[in-house]
Every structure is written in structure tokens, then in C-alpha cells.
Amino acid sequence: MSPRTGTIALATALVAAGGCAAAWFEVPYGSTHYHPTYAVRLDTPGLAAGWADDVFIGKVTAREGVRRTDGDRLLWTTYRVEVQSALKGKVSGSVRVAQEGGDDPLRRQRIVVGEAPALLPGRTYLLATRVAPDGWHTAPSNFLPLDLAPDKAGSDSGTDSSAAWREGVSHPVSQRDAHPSAVSRAADPAALYARARLD
Amino acid sequence: MGRCKGARFTRRCIRVAVSACLTAGLCAGLPAPPAVAADCPNDPNTAGSVDGSELTYTLHTRYTAEWARAREDWNALGKVDIKPHTGTAYADVDATDVDRADIGWSGLWESHELGSDDIVLNAHFLASYSADVKRGVVTHELGHALRLGHRSSPGAVMYCNDTRTAFAPTAADISAYRAVWGS
């Protein structure tokens, strides 16, 4: 093969490979559910407050993207959230919040973990989170973020909800398997909070 | 308001008042707390990780003893042969560990269209579990790889919470297994 022919063959191969790669990123997303077994329950204010480092009201201002951790086995979607009020913990300002799962651009899969719906930019939620060393506040897949949109507020009962959440934060429920968080074990918890700050 | 005295009266009181108003206003708008949901509804079966009648695995986990017990329990039901991976292609499922305090799960089965499926075990919880509870978690996740979904009974190993009272397949699990794989 002459040098000229070899160059053409190499260029053709590169173009073909590039075309295949580009085509892959046009493949529609499929959907897959990951199946957890949970060690803790977060389905009441008391249980959620007992587990969380922070319980707060925040507005989602942007969806940042996806990140991977733990040898690429875990995928997260991260959001920018402006904290409006903290019911528990030291969270404040503009912070990064991560949810488990999201759109995996490499595998072309929408990964769903648990029942928690994805956060929506522009909406305000009550969140119960733990601070992760990765530099974000994790909203776990078994806590349903409370959407504070006017059309959803107080829609399902006459319960004094604010009292329920104040009560939950004031009297958190401990669980046998709710082991200490990274914040509660850290020599410098403020450093963990600082890593999750965006302002 | 006893703290609102002296030279910093104005700023401090404004700060307290604003804070109280903000908290009251935001809390007044909160929706009702989530009802205690049905703990663990019966779920559809999963796609599983089984290839034909084999489920091959690679282990990158410290919970090998629990894995061996789980494998033994499921293999006793027949129809699917769970065995270590050999050869050059990838295994049907790969087991590995993480150690995360910021998530609520102790075990997770992940299905992938490309490459091995994953079983991820969270040492944050498993490290303090009894041998039986650890075995229950591993048996549960291996059950997902065998196409089984969650079961609503705490007496089933496929119950979705570690408060399950079964650590090996029970009648509900075996019935679900037979429905998928035959008697």
C-alpha cells in the first residue's frame, strides 16, 4: 500500500468511526429502573429530619448535568438550588444538590432510582438532604421532594403541615440503621458545606 | 424580644422580624407531609440479568460469604444456574461495594444494555448488619438479577426494606420464581 493509499484508508476509517460515534449520540434514550433495598425510611417529617443533615426550602434555578462516582457505577443529576429557608442544618446560599439517576449519555439510558421524581428548574421544594464529600447535598431516592407550587400546596388534607414539619425537625425520629452522616463524623463539617456551595 | 436592646436594637430586631416572617410565610405554604406510603408495593418483575439459563458473575465485593449463601439458596430452586464467570466475554452481573452515608439504600441492582449488570452493596449499612441481614440484602439483589420484582410482604426476601424478616427465599419468593422460571 502506498503512503497515499494508506492515508486515504486511515482517513476513511476515522470518518466512519466518527460517523458511528455521532450516530450513537442520536439514538433515543431508553429507560431503566434500578432496584434498591432500603436501610432507612424517609417517608415522614420525623424520619426524614432524623436522617438528614439539612431540611430546607430551596428554589431550583438550573439543572447542571450528570456526574458519575464510585467507579462509574453511580450516576447523579446535579442542580443549582438557592436556599430560601433552613429548617434544620447549616445549609445556606446557592448550593449544589444531587439526585440519584438521570440521563446517561453514553449508554443512552434514562436511569430511574426509586420513586423520587426529578427536580424541575424554576420550582421550589422542601428537601431533606445529607452532605456528600463529592461536593453536593444529596437528595436520596427514597425521599419525595415536596413541590411547593401553589397548585400543590395543601392539596391533600387539612393537616397543619407546617406544624408537622416543625414537629419533625424538633423531634426527629431515630432509626436503628441511620448511621452518622459524613458531616457528623467530619473534623471540619464547614469544609464539607463549603464544597457544596456555589457562591 | 428581650435581646432587642442597646445600640444594635434596630438591626437585630429587623433581622429577627424578617427571619420570623420568612419562616412563618414559607411554612404556612407547605403542603401536607407525605402520607406514610404503602411500604413496598408488589412490583413488576425486572428484566433480570440471566442469559439463557445461566447467570454468570464476577465478585468485587467483600461480602463473598453472603453471596455464596444467596447463590446456594437460589440455585436450589433449579432452572437457572448461577455460577462464576469464566471466559473472555463479560459476566452477566458484577458485584461491587460502595461506602456512602448520603443515600438510603444498602443494595442496588442495576440493569445495563451494554456490558455487565451491576449489584452494588453499600458497606455504610452492611458493615454493621448481622450476618442474616447481610445475607438478606445479597439474596434480595440476586433475586432482582433473577427477574424478581419487589413483594409487599415483610416475610419475603424480595421485600424492599431491610426490616424484612426473611433472609432466604420464602413461599412468596419461590412462588414468584416459579411463575417466571417454571416448576
Q: Each residue of A156-196: pLDDT tens digit?
A: 443 456 678 889 999 999 887 778 999 989 999 999 999 99
What is the count of structural domains for chain B?
2
**In a domain? residue B151:** yes
pLDDT in tens, A77-129: 999 999 999 999 999 999 999 999 999 988 888 999 988 999 999 999 999 99
**In a domain? residue B41:** no
> Chain A partners of B124 at a C-beta cutoff of 8 Å?
179
What's the CATH number where B176 sits?
A: 3.40.390.10
Are residues B20 and B62 part of one domain? no
Are residues B8 and B96 part of one domain? no
Are residues B84 and B25 part of one domain? no
For A115, A119, A145, B42, the CA distances from A148, given in Å and listed in that order, are 18, 12, 9, 30
Domain that holds residue B167: 54-181
Are residues B69 and B9 part of one domain? no
Are residues B88 and B2 part of one domain? no
ipTM of the complex: 0.84
pLDDT over 50 (residue B26): no
pLDDT over 50 (residue A132): yes
Are residues B67 and B24 part of one domain? no
In chain A, DSSP assigns E strands to 30-38, 54-69, 74-88, 94-100, 102-104, 109-113, 124-132, 136-139, 146-147
Candidates B28, B109, B112; nearest CB to A35: B109
Q: Indicate yes or no: CB of A84 within 8 angstroms of CB of B29.
A: no
pLDDT in tens, B64-90: 999 999 999 999 999 999 999 998 889
Are residues B149 and B65 part of one domain? yes
Q: Indicate yes or no: CB of A161 within 8 angstroms of CB of B46.
A: no
Are residues B111 and B22 part of one domain? no
**In a domain? residue B133:** yes
Predicted TM-score of the model (pTM): 0.82
d(CA B34, CA A119): 17
pLDDT in tens, A138-162: 999 999 999 987 666 554 443 456 6
pLDDT in tens, B124-176: 999 999 999 999 999 999 999 999 999 999 999 999 999 999 999 999 999 99
Write out the H or E segment, with its range, that includes residue B55. strand B54-60
Are residues B136 and B91 part of one domain? yes
Candidates A73, A166, A185; nearest CB to B27: A166
Q: Indicate yes or no: CB of B112 within 8 angstroms of CB of A107.
A: yes
**In a domain? residue B47:** no
CATH topology of domain A32-195: OB fold (Dihydrolipoamide Acetyltransferase, E2P) (2.40.50)
